[in-house]
Every structure is written in structure tokens, then in C-alpha cells.
A and B are shown apart, each in its own frame.
Chain A
């Protein structure tokens, strides 16, 4: 009798602990802001994605733009003007009606220089105000002082604010609204009762009642909780975790193919960097950089470090980015003869087991990376042996992350660095801050006053041309040429594009993993929590 009572209590407890329509996953840190216009960090971006209503959304699966709060839009005046037709009858989560005044208010807030909105930066193509006015009851016109690259796509990041609601940022138009936030513990999002979207049968979306985002930094704990059924999604797995989980729960893991992210190496080419002159000469030599790039066996990296869950990178566009990838680019051959030919052409020669430059200096350089990153450490160990074949000595230095950033962005006291880049945007305009020579994130030689090389000058022109054009085919042609120059000059050596790996409980229905972020819950309004056994069948 006692046993039966305990069993019943346990079953009730389990049922209570796991609400049938609550989705649970983890944030790696506390969100830094709940203001959608100030979002910079991953956690805040997740909240914005789940709660914010946008005029236009890029479908992460088809990679096409779709109307959300805007039923129609039209870009004109070569990317300076955009007209929206707004969806009628939409209300904020607190019941306040959504109108064109909210769009005007949001744009005014977004472009306010005092706010320093990172999202607003994407629209700041030139100094001057943005003209925004309502056209009738459901139309809005926005006119920018200069053409904005990929103007319509930029609105994917702009969550609308309410001009009239007393709740301010808490009044949202997305599928979920803020429920509860306990710093360091969790963020609870509740279903937005006024969400405008309906499914094919006319049923109000989202299907889920709530989303619980536990703040959990430790990946091992996150995985353990997923295994125990306390979490429904692990949105970004490393290859080792993926394989481990795959052997235990093969139905739970998902590999959506190459992501937009890069693993890269670049050399310090900064004029004022505290480097010996001969090393500066090496790092500025196109042949040297290409020789290094050719000498790295990317296939081994994919096979050994990423366990097959990555793709050798050919340039700054991932294979996941189907439209912008330059198909003419070829993977590096990796042949010893090609590498030696490049190095010999640059004046390097073998002497015994070492490689010497034309002045007799032994080729030895260090490569820094962030400490504790196992994947990077393994990649570096592979590169050490790859380059040792040509007599190049690579010294591996792992640094804590703040020291690494200090060296690559302030003191420039480094020789080469292995870094991961996280891309959230497919459009080449999102890479302006990397390729334009005057940009702060032009990592190998930031903020050049004038382009240091003719090819950098050419990239500047091409990037400006693609950003100023609204003709997609022309933009593609310009950016194809940028990719070709980058492949030829190797200012950044692209190593691999890691796959988007995730784990999803079999009880979650309607999951369609995409390579673009957020890979698993991009269609969150359609996700459902069902019976895991039924789902598994």
C-alpha cells in the first residue's frame, strides 16, 4: 500500500515538474538587456528572437524573406527608401493596438545616437536623420540619408516597440512575452495571448504555453540535464558531445550541416606591431600566407577534430549560405609541392629540418588562441605537425580570453591567431566591418588610413559597390570577386565551417533544424511538446 502511494506521488510529481506545453533549454549567461534595440549578447538575442515582433523575418530554412508585421514591402531609390504595408488588427502583448506610429517610434529610438543601438548601426549608412512617416492607417515610409545595404533584411533584427503602452519594452509583438526573470537562475517566457499568427487550421499560435530558459554555463551539466529529460533542446553541441549523445540517444541529435561560422587563422600585419622586421615581411607576403594556408590539412581537421561534423572552408562564405557562395572557389590542394613552390617563390629555402627566409632567419612563429578550447588546441596540434613538414616551427600559446582580445585589438603584440568567428547574417554587408580596410574589425591590420595594398583597395571598392547596389545579381558578382581576392591573398586563412549540431528531445514536434541561428527554435511558434513515446514511434 505504502509502495503504491509513493509510486502515485512520484508520478504526480513528475507530471507537475514537466508541464506539457513548456519548452526548456539553457542560456549560457544572463541576458545583458531586455531592450531589443540594445541587444549585443547571445542570451539577449535569444530573448529578442522569442519575444520580438518584426516587420520582416528571414525564414531560416528557406533563407527567404517573409512578411510578419508587414504584409508587403518595397525597397526603392536604390536602397534609400522602404515602404511597408502593415498587418491590420495586431495587438501588443498588453493589448495595445499596433500601428504605424509604433514603427515610426521604433525607428526614432533605433536611430537615436544617444541610445548607441548596435542594431541601429546597420542602418547608419551616412550622417543625417531618417525620415519616417505614416501613410494612411496601415502604411509606413522610411527614408534613409544614403542607401542601406540589404535594407529589407536588416529589419529581421528590429523588434517593434510600442509608442503608447505603459509597459514599454515589456509590451511585445512576438510569440512570447516576459514572464519572470530570476538573475542567475532562469528567464520564464509566457505565451503572448495577443500573438497575431495562426496555423493552417486557424488555431492561434504559438502552441507552447511557456518557455523556460535556465541560465547554465556548464555544458556538461546542460548535457546531463538533457539526458535526464529536464531540458528539451541543446542548441549548440560540440562534436564530441554530439557523438557521445548520438551513441546514447540517436533520435535526439541533429546535424543541420555547415553553419555560417568560421574557424580562421590570421597573421599580424599591423605596421606598428612590436614584431621583428623580418617577421613582418613574412606575414605581409601573399605567398607565405598562401603557403601556410595550403600546408594545413583541412580534411584531417574535419575528420579528427570535428569527427566529420564540419566542412573544409574555402573562403568567407559558408556552404550554408547558398546564394552568396562563390562556386568557383576551390579547396586548397594541400600538396607539398604546391606549398614549397609558394614558399620558394617568396624567398624561403629548406636548410636541414628548418625553413629559412632569404636572410637566413629560421621560420618560427607563435599562434595564440583562447585557453580551455579543446577544439582549438587540437587544431593547433594538427597545424604544428602539418607545418613541421615544411620546416616551419609553430609555437602554440593558449591565453585567457581577455588577454587574447587585448593582444589582437589593442597592443597588437601577437604573430598569428586562431579564432572562431560567429556569423549570424548571410548578407555580405554584415562582413563590411571585416573586409573594409578602415574598419575596426579588419583584423589583420585594423583601421588603415588608406588601404595598405592594392588588393585591399580593390576589396574596399567592391564592398562599397555591393553595399550601394540593390541589384542582387550585381551584388553577387561584386562579392564573388571579393571572395576570389581573399582566396588568392589569404589575409584570413579559412580553416573549417563547423556544422550546426544540436540535440532535441523526441517529444518536441515540428522541429525543422536549419543551419542558420537559431537552428532549432527558429519556428518556435510551431513547436509543440508531445508524448515522447508517440513521437519516437
Chain B
């Protein structure tokens, strides 16, 4: 592991630890409104000031980080697993299966999934708690995010299937099942890891985009997406630059995730 990667890992560890220890680090609840201190500047009590409802920005940033940093990797894992199964099987089996999956992936990528997210949000029971609601949002993102990685994995699998060592293994009479699990999947590891790592920032940004549409995490639960909505008011940013903290953290985390990728993994993206 290079120095850069160690540094990135340290930053991510600190971010995750801080978000998990939000209850100890933050002096206020993320939802408590201090109505006599709306849009307050940073102070000893409010390290990043307060938002327009008088809520502690630092507390909201920590809890928002917890939501985004825990759920985005979970969604990325889910989408990568689905992609590995579908893309890997298509590339391995070849023929009409491959054509079918390719067509399916193309179709899937061309559909406007935002409307599905809108529809699911509209169909959820009204008294769904904010936590359940955000978990469903990320679950959906995970279920819908498999198509692009599946395409990469299928292509990678095709290359591997025609490689000398697999042809030799196949010729020596190894079963197709064993061939898939023991020889193919381990060699797909760089692609799978790369797809996993690049999916995490993608899902964080997707949630942020949904937040910008007002369809992300429900009040009063914070998320990076919900906090990014405050940045629509650019003149307020100039007066209160600490409002940029969620952006800084988002960029830092996404950059660190990219740095964590090994050179060969990055090449597989």
C-alpha cells in the first residue's frame, strides 16, 4: 500500500469513526432547532454554525456522514454482486445468453429510473420512519445500479474465457461450475473491486441528487444530499463559507475512495 493509499485510508477511517461517534462529538442533536440562533456563525457551541432552522451544522454533518458513508458502500456491494452474477454468467456462458443479457443491460440503461424512484417513494407507507425510508432508497439504488458494472464484467469475463489458462483448464475436464467459481471469479477480482469502489461515490452523489429534488432522506434526518441543498443560495455561501463543509467532505471522501484503488484496479474501471 502506497503512502497516498495509507493516507486515504486514514482519512476515511477518521470520517467513519467520527460519524459513528457523532453522539459523543456533537454537542446537540441533529434535529434540535435553536430558533434564536438561526444561520449563526461558528462558535464554541456550534462548531460549524447553525442552518436556517437553527440546527447544529456540525451534528448534522456527522450524522449525515453516517447515513451516506454506511449505506452507500452497502448499496455498492449489492449492485456489484448483482452485476457479477449477471455479467459474469453472460460472459461465461456466451452465445444467446450473452446476447440476451447484453440486450437486457442496454434496455435497463435506457430506462428512466428516476421515475421508478419517484413511484416507490410515493408508494411507501406514509408513516415509514426516515431511517427505513433512507435504507429503502439506498436498497433501490443498489438494485438499479448493476447494469453498467455488469457490462464491464461481461466484457472482462469474455476476455478471460478465451485466455490460455481457462482454455487449458476446460480441456483438462474441469466442470463448468468449478471453472466459474475457482478460476474465473478470482481473476475477475480487479474488475469487481474497481466497480465496487467507483459505485460508492456514484451512490453518494445519487442520494445527493435525490436530496436536491427533495426526494432523498426525510426530515429531520440529515444526509449529504439534504445538506447540499443549502448551497443553492450562493450569496449565503459567500457570507457563510462554512456551509461548504459537506462539499469538502464529499470531495475528500470520493477522492480517498479513488486513491484506495490499486493501479491495476483503476485500469480495470
In-complex Cβ contact of A395 among B53, B129, B229 (8 A): B129
Contact B127 A366 (CB under 8 A): yes
Contacts of B130 in A (CB 8 A): 395-396
Contact B126 A397 (CB under 8 A): yes
Residues 218-232 of chain B: 1 if any A CB is under 8 Å from the residue's CB, otherwise 0? 111000000001001
Q: A247-B235, A377-B214, A395-B127 are in contact. Are A382 and B33 (CB under 8 A)?
A: yes
Bin chain A's interface residue count.
Answer: 20 to 34
For the complex formed, measure the closest distance between the CB of A355 and the CB atoms of chain B, giving whole angstroms.
Answer: 15
**Which chain A residue lies CB-closest to B54?**
A304
* A372 vs B210: C-alpha distance when bound (angstroms): 10
Contacts of B219 in A (CB 8 A): 377, 380-381, 384, 396
Residues 368-382 of chain A: 1 if any B CB is under 8 Å from the residue's CB, otherwise 0? 100111100110111
**Which chain B residue lies CB-closest to A395?**
B127
Contacts of A382 in B (CB 8 A): 33, 53
Which of A158-166, A342-350, A398-406, A434-442 touches B?
Answer: A398-406
* A311 vs B130: C-alpha distance when bound (angstroms): 31
Is the C-beta of A300 less than 8 angstroms from some C-beta in chain B? yes
For the complex formed, measure the closest distance between the CB of A300 and the CB atoms of chain B, giving whole angstroms.
Answer: 6
Is the C-beta of B122 less than 8 angstroms from some C-beta in chain A? yes
Contacts of B126 in A (CB 8 A): 366, 368, 395, 397, 413-415
Is the C-beta of B163 less than 8 angstroms from some C-beta in chain A? no
* A365 vs B31: C-alpha distance when bound (angstroms): 18
* A403 vs B123: C-alpha distance when bound (angstroms): 9
> Quick one: which of B23-46 are within 8 Å of A by CB?
31-33, 35, 38
Q: A396-B219, A400-B122, A403-B122 are in contact. Are A371 and B52 (CB under 8 A)?
A: no
Is the C-beta of B118 less than 8 angstroms from some C-beta in chain A? yes
* A378 vs B215: C-alpha distance when bound (angstroms): 14
In-complex Cβ contact of B35 among A244, A300, A366, A400 (8 A): A300
Is the C-beta of B233 less than 8 angstroms from some C-beta in chain A? yes
Is the C-beta of B121 less than 8 angstroms from some C-beta in chain A? yes
* A384 vs B221: C-alpha distance when bound (angstroms): 12
Contact A398 B215 (CB under 8 A): yes
Is the C-beta of A216 less than 8 angstroms from some C-beta in chain B? no
Contact B118 A398 (CB under 8 A): no
Contacts of B52 in A (CB 8 A): 304, 378
Is the C-beta of A271 less than 8 angstroms from some C-beta in chain B? no
Contact A385 B33 (CB under 8 A): yes
Is the C-beta of A364 less than 8 angstroms from some C-beta in chain B? yes
Secondary structure of the B contact surface, majority rule: loop
* A399 vs B214: C-alpha distance when bound (angstroms): 8
Contact B118 A395 (CB under 8 A): no
Contacts of B70 in A (CB 8 A): none
Contact B220 A364 (CB under 8 A): no
Is the C-beta of A199 less than 8 angstroms from some C-beta in chain B? no
Contact B218 A399 (CB under 8 A): no
Contacts of A364 in B (CB 8 A): 127
Contact A398 B218 (CB under 8 A): yes
* A403 vs B236: C-alpha distance when bound (angstroms): 33
In-complex Cβ contact of A304 among B35, B119, B235 (8 A): B35
Contact B127 A381 (CB under 8 A): no
**Which chain B residue lies CB-closest to A400?**
B118
Contacts of B215 in A (CB 8 A): 371-372, 398, 400
* A244 vs B237: C-alpha distance when bound (angstroms): 12
For the complex formed, measure the closest distance between the CB of A369 and the CB atoms of chain B, giving whole angstroms.
Answer: 9
Contacts of A240 in B (CB 8 A): 233
Contacts of B33 in A (CB 8 A): 381-382, 385
Is the C-beta of B213 less than 8 angstroms from some C-beta in chain A? yes
* A395 vs B233: C-alpha distance when bound (angstroms): 26
Contact B233 A372 (CB under 8 A): no
Contacts of B38 in A (CB 8 A): 304
Q: A381-B220, A384-B220, A400-B122 are in contact. Are A372 and B214 (CB under 8 A)?
A: yes
**Which chain B residue lies CB-closest to A370?**
B214
For the complex formed, measure the closest distance between the CB of A389 and the CB atoms of chain B, giving whole angstroms.
Answer: 11
* A364 vs B235: C-alpha distance when bound (angstroms): 38
**Which chain B residue lies CB-closest to A381?**
B219
**Which chain A residue lies CB-closest to B55?**
A381
Contact B127 A244 (CB under 8 A): no
* A384 vs B219: C-alpha distance when bound (angstroms): 9
Contacts of B220 in A (CB 8 A): 381, 384, 396
Jot down 15 A-B pairs with beta carbons below 8 A, ordered by A: A240-B233, A304-B35, A304-B52, A304-B53, A366-B126, A371-B214, A372-B215, A381-B33, A384-B219, A385-B33, A395-B126, A397-B126, A398-B218, A403-B122, A415-B127
Residues of B within 8 A of A (CB): 31-33, 35, 38, 52-54, 118-119, 121-122, 124, 126-130, 213-215, 218-220, 229, 232-233, 235-236
Across chains A and B, which 4 residue pairs bring their CB atoms closest together, nearest first?
A: A403-B122, A371-B214, A366-B126, A372-B214
Having A374-B229, A377-B219, one finds 10 other A-B pairs with CB under 8 Å, namely A240-B233, A247-B235, A365-B127, A374-B214, A378-B52, A382-B53, A395-B127, A396-B218, A397-B218, A399-B121
